[in-house]
Structure 1
Amino acid sequence: MTEQQLRRPRMRARSPHEAHRSATPLELLFDLCFVVAVAQAGARLVHSVAEGSFAAGVGGYVFVFFAIWLAWVNFTWFASAYDTDDVPYRIATFVQMCGVLVLAAGIPRAFDEDDFSIAVAGYVIMRLALVGQWLRAAHGETGAGRTTALRYAGGLVVVQTAWVLLLQLPDSAWSAGFVILAAADLSVPVIAERARRTGWHPHHIAERHGLFTIIVLGETIAAATVAVQSALNESSAADDLVPIVVGGLLVVFSAFWFYFAGPIHEHLHGNREAFRWGYGHYFVLGSAAAIGAGLEVAVEHATHHAHVSVYAAAAAVTIPASIYLFSVWLLHARHFKRTLAQQLVLPGAAVLVAASTAAGRWAVLLAGVVCAVAVAVGLTLERRVRASRPPG
């Protein structure tokens, strides 16, 4: 750490036009903490769906993944604007990491017992550190910038206090309370940045979301590894497991291809676009992580450990894969498509992947083939469009 970093007394906003801005080692370490939380959420979703508790499993996953995603978003967008990488900043980030691990530890209890006390305690730890960061930012700002930072700090305190109070209400109030407070949480940046936009960096933000997408897709690769291990250990089920492995890998590779098809940072011009894009990633990231959980359900069904039908096991993969394809098209791909045929590739693939559920034990393989064909069709259409342009 440089002498300047050790001595820096104030937190100054970084320029949104800074050249060569990229993720820092500290941000990558922060992301690794979320690997634990995402894995916990996926494991509980697998358990619930494999036991036939679809509504409880999906509902719990929606709640818990929202908490994971929002915690990551809160830190990432702040860091894009105010990452000074000095001693106080690093210590505050370490505290937030501790909060993430507490949140992860509380996920099983939230799923199994509808007890969110530990998860909320983890959020209190994260939010206290983040509020301190915003107050420090306010101290280093003046005028509208100071107002924005104070609005962030105040909004986070108010909403987090409401989450703690929600724990004191009867369990019957949790679902409605969650919806209301989730909306309140999402409104904090919208209200705060009316005073002045923070200096988030478009390229940095795009890279950070891309890295987190890779993390959740990595969880899906881990699920495919479980399938391979099961095939080796239970040779009697190999005929059912091989299509799951092949199809699952095709889905993951295609998911990566679709997401990184173009430089999305060029379309993040202001807060209106950025909020829609950033909040939309809840569906991208949540569905990507759910694909991995679905593959594990499909494996458990193939090895006769899941108490669900073959179609339910198939839907555990095909439905989140379909949601992922449509979400990526809506947030990313449509910005780079020039013809109607190009625009229809991903939505059409999403419909076909969902319909492949009817194929039963072959559904995952069929979904993977659909995704791979969609990649090939997209590349062919893009090549034709480029060839049709006049030279120069």
Structure 2
Amino acid sequence: MTRTALLSLAPRDRHETHRVATPLELFFDLASVIAIASAASGLHHALSAGHPAEGLVGYAFGFFAMWWAWMNYTWFASAYGNDGVPFRLVTLLIIFGSLVMAADMPDMFGREHFYTVLAGYLIMRVGMISLWLMAAYGDPARRTTALRYALGIALAQIYWSVIIIFAQPGNFFFVALFGLGAVFELSVPALAERASQTTWHRHHIMERYGLLNIIVLGEGLLASVLAIRAAEESFSLASPLVHAAIAAAVVFFCFWSLYFTAEEHLSRETTHRALVWGYGHVAIFAAGAACGAGFGVLVDILTGHASVSLRTGDIAVGVPIAIYLLGLWFVRDRYYMRGAWKWLLPAAAALVLAIALAAPAALELMTIALVLCTAIRRYASSHGGVHGTESQHGH
């Protein structure tokens, strides 16, 4: 085998049977979640300190960068990952980039610059450019698609480098430039796939998204552990910390139960449907991680280590719960559910948000509302509340 052939990546069969996530992909997920947890930790501490704007902007920036890098690699690996030595080495380089990003995420908006985050992101994206160039050589039928990806990613990195080096982090102008850069990044797959759709594997992609969701929810469960540890010295069923520990566990149990239902999340292989489903998951992943941060804020408040009110802690939990439910509705339920069942998750999201903003005993009431929503959704899934197939109903 020649050196150039060794460095090429041929497309995989999108209909191959028994396609599952590889150990390398799972390793990549774990490294990605380290960065996601780091961003959530920054959000937690900013909210506890009474700096919500700083925390939310920093979280949005850090989470988007990590999620976007994860998503690009995941779809590429589904189409071209061959577990060969060059592919493995580039993947490990991308993993290292995610660790560099994670190192600076918790307090990046407390600094005058965040060059470390930029350096980590550039490492990850240079790795992706290399992979797409390897695919361009190994897949002549989709060479234009692969080269569009490589060029789009490269131009985006030039843009990020310029604004991070020359713009003042955290101000309105920077936030606007960040939004513009995010739109540019999101447009690259849509433009590239117009030339020819890559051969990503539908069941493999659904499994990959589900696995990341499980890992993110597992990180969220640490909030329950945090509350239990804080309650150890004066353990009582009447303790607010015990209530927080139970609520955190139940909320993440419900998140898991709502996500993994009988319906297939992605029933069609069209580019439009794949982009809506793939992009829409940013709300689910971000909300899952942010909910863990919200419970961390509640624990800080209950132990006297926060400078914000209990209502702020309830809101920090309630808003991510509502976003998680709306994210699931956007990527799945609006396509599958019928009649009044179709609006269950949006209605539950509105109820949880209203409770968080105004009701007494908000944490307990939000948890009960989420449990009821989960039970009703599972009942609807098994008793005729779901369309037979998406395509039969014009979606």
In the superposition, the TM-score normalised over structure 2's length comes to 0.91
Contact 1:52 1:308 in 2 (8 A): yes
Distance (whole Å) between structure 2 residues aligned to residue 271 and residue 219 of structure 1: 31
Contact 2:235 2:242 in 1 (8 A): no
Q: Give the CA deviation at 1:138.
A: 0.6
May I ask how many residue pairs the two structures share in their alignment?
381
* Aligned residue in 1 for 2:204: 204
* Aligned residue in 1 for 2:129: 131
- Look up the equivalent residue of 1:151 and give its one-letter code: R
* Aligned residue in 2 for 1:370: 369
Q: Does 1:59 align with 2:57?
A: yes
Q: Does 1:347 align with 2:358?
A: no
Partner SS state of residue 167, structure 1: helix
Distance (whole Å) between structure 2 residues aligned to residue 265 and residue 154 of structure 1: 31
For 1:314-325, list aligned pairs within 5 A: 314-325=314-325
For 1:213-362, list aligned pairs within 5 A: 213-235=213-235, 239-338=239-338, 340-358=339-357, 362=361
Give CA deviations for 1:242-263 in whole Å, capped at 9, x if unaligned. 2212222221111111111134
- Look up the equivalent residue of 2:361 and give its one-letter code: W
- Look up the equivalent residue of 2:132 and give its one-letter code: W
Distance (whole Å) between structure 1 residues aligned to residue 190 and residue 267 of structure 2: 19
* Aligned residue in 1 for 2:110: 112
The RMSD of aligned alpha carbons is 2.1
Q: Give the CA deviation at 1:236.
A: 8.4
Contact 1:203 1:265 in 2 (8 A): no
- Look up the equivalent residue of 2:350 and give its one-letter code: V
Distance (whole Å) between structure 2 residues aligned to residue 316 and residue 201 of structure 1: 37
* Aligned residue in 1 for 2:143: 146
- Look up the equivalent residue of 2:220 and give its one-letter code: T
Contact 2:42 2:107 in 1 (8 A): no
Give CA deviations for 1:81-107 in whole Å, capped at 9, x if unaligned. 100110000000000011000011121
With over 3 angstroms needed to count, the CA separation of the structure-2 counterparts of 1:154 and 1:380, relative to structure 1, is: closer
* Aligned residue in 1 for 2:165: 168
For 1:40-79, list aligned pairs within 5 A: 40-79=38-77
Partner SS state of residue 361, structure 2: helix
Distance (whole Å) between structure 1 residues aligned to residue 337 and residue 50 of structure 2: 40
Contact 2:266 2:274 in 1 (8 A): no
- Look up the equivalent residue of 2:348 and give its one-letter code: A
Distance (whole Å) between structure 1 residues aligned to residue 291 and residue 195 of structure 2: 40
Contact 1:243 1:362 in 2 (8 A): no
With over 3 angstroms needed to count, the CA separation of the structure-2 counterparts of 1:68 and 1:297, relative to structure 1, is: same
- Look up the equivalent residue of 1:166 and give its one-letter code: I
Contact 1:262 1:336 in 2 (8 A): no
Partner SS state of residue 319, structure 1: helix
With over 3 angstroms needed to count, the CA separation of the structure-2 counterparts of 1:221 and 1:371, relative to structure 1, is: same
* Aligned residue in 2 for 1:190: 190
Q: What 5-or-longer segments of structure 1 have no aligned partner?
A: none
Partner SS state of residue 289, structure 1: helix
Q: Give the CA deviation at 1:240.
A: 0.9
Distance (whole Å) between structure 1 residues aligned to residue 85 and residue 248 of structure 2: 43
Match of 1:88 among 64, 86, 89: 86
Contact 1:34 1:100 in 2 (8 A): yes
Partner SS state of residue 168, structure 1: helix
Partner SS state of residue 96, structure 1: helix
With over 3 angstroms needed to count, the CA separation of the structure-2 counterparts of 1:234 and 1:67, relative to structure 1, is: farther
Q: Give the CA deviation at 1:265.
A: 4.8
Contact 1:246 1:368 in 2 (8 A): no
* Aligned residue in 2 for 1:178: 178
Distance (whole Å) between structure 2 residues aligned to residue 341 and residue 109 of structure 1: 44
Partner SS state of residue 268, structure 1: coil
Identity across aligned pairs (percent)? 40
Distance (whole Å) between structure 1 residues aligned to residue 107 and residue 311 of structure 2: 29
Match of 1:103 among 101, 107, 113: 101
Contact 1:100 1:122 in 2 (8 A): yes
Deviates more, 1:167-176 or 1:66-75: 167-176
Distance (whole Å) between structure 2 residues aligned to residue 137 and residue 370 of structure 1: 48
Distance (whole Å) between structure 1 residues aligned to residue 310 and residue 106 of structure 2: 26
Greater per-residue helix proportion: 1
Deviates more, 1:362-371 or 1:86-95: 362-371
Contact 1:223 1:295 in 2 (8 A): yes
Deviates more, 1:79-88 or 1:260-269: 260-269
- Look up the equivalent residue of 2:248 and give its one-letter code: G
Partner SS state of residue 196, structure 1: coil
With over 3 angstroms needed to count, the CA separation of the structure-2 counterparts of 1:377 and 1:118, relative to structure 1, is: same
Q: Give the CA deviation at 1:379.
A: 3.1
Partner SS state of residue 14, structure 1: coil
Distance (whole Å) between structure 2 residues aligned to residue 314 and residue 109 of structure 1: 23
Give CA deviations for 1:108-145 in whole Å, capped at 9, x if unaligned. 342321522111100111111111111111111214x0
- Look up the equivalent residue of 1:298 and give its one-letter code: L
Give CA deviations for 1:179-227 in whole Å, capped at 9, x if unaligned. 1111111111111111100111111111111111111111110111101
Contact 1:258 1:333 in 2 (8 A): no
